[in-house]
Structure 1
Amino acid sequence: MGTRVKVLKVFKALHRTRQDVFKDDHAGLTATRLKINEEFRKNKNEKSEENIQKMIKMGLDVDVVLKDAVLQMEHVTNDTLMLRPRESLLLENVPYCDKPRKKS
């Protein structure tokens, strides 16, 4: 796969993730769109294949961080926040067990 195609895939992936992570948050959507576009424009004339690969890797890492670590919260009152977790962040709560599970 060509480098240009990889860069475009990362660009699209970041924008899709941004839309999912900051759903219903106009300010967040706008800020992330501007930042993503700014970073890609800033580096659009990069010629070094090694640097391009590093930036692709960083873009993919940012995508993972956005998906796994960013939570939406909304101010309800002055001292109260309402957490709005995405479905992908809700994990099954597995209690700790001293005994190893039997393999079936």
Structure 2
Amino acid sequence: MMGTRLKVLRVFKDLHKTRRDVFKDDARALTAARSKINEEFKRNKNEASEENIKEMLKMARSVETILRESVIQVEHVEENKILLRPRESLLLENVPYSDTPRTKT
């Protein structure tokens, strides 16, 4: 049981770390995400079934991955204008389209 407790705490900490990175400089989103994470963990704190705990840990990891890999901050700056703030980890190399495939070297 102690190993499961450590796994739960690790996922909890990872979710909060990811929340801080993803919603940096957005107090409203930071607060909402913190509340939701804490609410979900408190709601399930008395769960005893190992199988259910494993499923919930799997779901929490999926949520953390989606937040980390898919969410981009956007700020509404003018009437019809938004400012995208992608994190460095989300930026990919821009490779121009070519009809002929590149050969790997």
Q: CA RMSD in A?
A: 1.4
Equivalent residue number for residue 75 of structure 2:
74
Aligned counterparts of 1:65 and 1:94: Cα–Cα separation in 2: 24
Q: CA deviation at 1:69?
A: 1.2
Which 4+ residue blocks in structure 1 deviate beyond 6 angstroms?
Answer: none
Gaps of 5+ in 1: none
Normalising by structure 1, what TM-score?
0.93
Measured against aligned partners, the alpha-carbon deviations of 1:33-74 in whole angstroms (never above 9, x if no partner) come to 000000000000000000000000000000010011111111
Aligned counterparts of 1:91 and 1:100: Cα–Cα separation in 2: 19
Q: Tell me the number of residue pairs that the alignment of Structure 1 and Structure 2 aligns.
A: 104
Equivalent residue number for residue 93 of structure 1:
94
Q: Secondary structure of 1:2's match?
A: helix
Equivalent residue number for residue 30 of structure 2:
29
Q: Percent identity?
A: 64
Distance 1:100 1:40, change over 3 A: same
Equivalent residue number for residue 50 of structure 2:
49
Equivalent residue number for residue 17 of structure 2:
16
Aligned counterparts of 1:91 and 1:3: Cα–Cα separation in 2: 36
Equivalent residue number for residue 84 of structure 2:
83
Aligned counterparts of 2:79 and 2:98: Cα–Cα separation in 1: 40
Aligned counterparts of 1:100 and 1:15: Cα–Cα separation in 2: 42
Q: Secondary structure of 2:74's match?
A: strand
